[in-house]
């Protein structure tokens, strides 16, 4: 796993909870590197899973909720860290369409050993289906990322996770305009 994902996870815990919680999570996880991560390094994704597990124990929140929140937060961090990646895009749908074809391609150019998840986007009329697949069980993080991009661009869209999705390694998200419910 790229260092940016796990280093930003520590940062998010510090911001969302507190530096003491982050410290406790690191200590509790018993990580071999003792929580020392740089954005330019590579680390086992099990470190991130261990920290998520420890955080869930400490905070008494479900891992899925925590991972989704982290993904949502990470979207805005990516925009801060890599603004050139978002240049020229004015809406989330177009950006999402190019994630696998362009952005992941750029990542593999820079890091030939990187194993990026596969993102397949299908546009059907006004609906967009984003299918996530990875050897890492981070479908919840992906969900949060999708939501984060949509909110960033201010698009009036909702993201519905397909309940039939097989598990944390794969998920399908339906992105569409929210249904209007007229009351009274």
Partner 1 sequence: MPGTPLSSFAMPHEVAAAIEPVDPAAQIALLERRLARAEAARAAAEHLLEQKSRILAAANTELTARQDKLSTSLERRTRQLLDAQRVAGFGTMLWDIKHQQLELSPQVQVMIGLEPGSAVKTYRSLVRGLLREDRRRLLDWMHGELLARLERDHCIKYDGQPCQGSPGPCEEALREYRIEVRCPAEKGGEGVRSLRIMAQFQVDSQCRPAMIFVTVQDITRQVRADNEAAALRARELQRLADLERLNKELLLAREQADLANDAKSRFLAMMSHDIRTPLNGVIGMLSLFDESTLTAGQRRTLALVRSSGDQLRVLLNDIIDLARAEAGKLALTPGPTNLVDVLTDGADFWRHLADDKSLSLDIVLAPDTPTWVEADSVRLRQLIDNMLSNAIKYTSEGGVLLKTRVLPSGWLRTEVIDTGIGIPAHRRTELFSEFSQLNLLGSEPGGAGLGLAICQRIIEVMGGRLGVDDAARGSCFWFEIPVVRIPVPKRVANPVVRSLRGADGRVPRVLVAEDLATNRIVVEGCLRKLRCEVHVVEDGQQALDAVGSGEAYDLVLMDMAMPVMDGPEATRRIRALPGELAQLPIIALTAFTRPEELEPMMAAGANDSVAKPIVIDDLYRAISRVLGIPVEDDVAH
- Residue numbers of the site for partner 1 (CB under 8 A)? 7, 15-21, 23-24, 26, 34-41, 58-61, 64-65, 68-69, 72-73, 143, 147, 151, 158-159
Phi-psi region of 60 (alpha: psi -120 to 50; beta: other; left: phi over 0): left
CA dihedral 148, 149, 152, 158 (to 10 degrees): -80
- Smallest CA-to-CA distance from 100 within 121, 124, 71 is with 121
* Burial class of residue 131 (count of CB atoms within 10 Å of its CB; 0-12, 13-18, 19+): middle
Residue 184 CB, shortest distance to partner 1, in Å, is 25
Nearest to partner 1 of 118, 160 (CB atom): 160
User: Under 8 Å CB-to-CB from 3, ≥6 apart: which residues?
Assistant: 37, 38, 39, 40, 41, 42, 43
Nearest to partner 1 of 40, 179 (CB atom): 40
Residue 49 CB, shortest distance to partner 1, in Å, is 19
CA dihedral 35, 37, 42, 47 (to 10 degrees): 20
Nearest to partner 1 of 129, 184 (CB atom): 129
Concatenate the DSSP letters of all residues of 73-84 into one string.
HHHHHHHHH-GG
């Amino acid at each position: 796993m790229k260092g940016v994902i796990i280093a930003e996870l520590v940062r998010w815990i510090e911001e969302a909870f507190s530096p003491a919680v982050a410290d406790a999570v690191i200590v509790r996880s018993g990580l071999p590197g003792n929580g020392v991560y740089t954005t330019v390094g590579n680390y086992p994704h099990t470190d991130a899973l261990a920290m998520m597990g420890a955080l869930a124990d400490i905070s008494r929140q479900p891992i899925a909720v925590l991972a989704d929140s982290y993904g949502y937060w990470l979207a805005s961090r990516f925009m801060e860290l890599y603004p050139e990646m978002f240049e020229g895009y004015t809406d989330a749908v177009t950006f999402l369409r190019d994630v696998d074809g362009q952005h992941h391609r750029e990542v593999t150019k820079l890091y030939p050993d990187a194993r990026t998840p596969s993102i397949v986007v299908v546009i059907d009329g006004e609906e967009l289906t984003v299918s996530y697949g990875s050897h890492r069980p981070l479908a919840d993080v992906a969900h949060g990322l999708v939501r984060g991009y949509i909110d960033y661009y201010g698009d009036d869209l909702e993201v519905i996770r397909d309940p039939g999705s097989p598990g944390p390694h794969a998920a399908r998200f339906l992105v569409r305009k929210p249904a209007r419910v007229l009351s009274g």
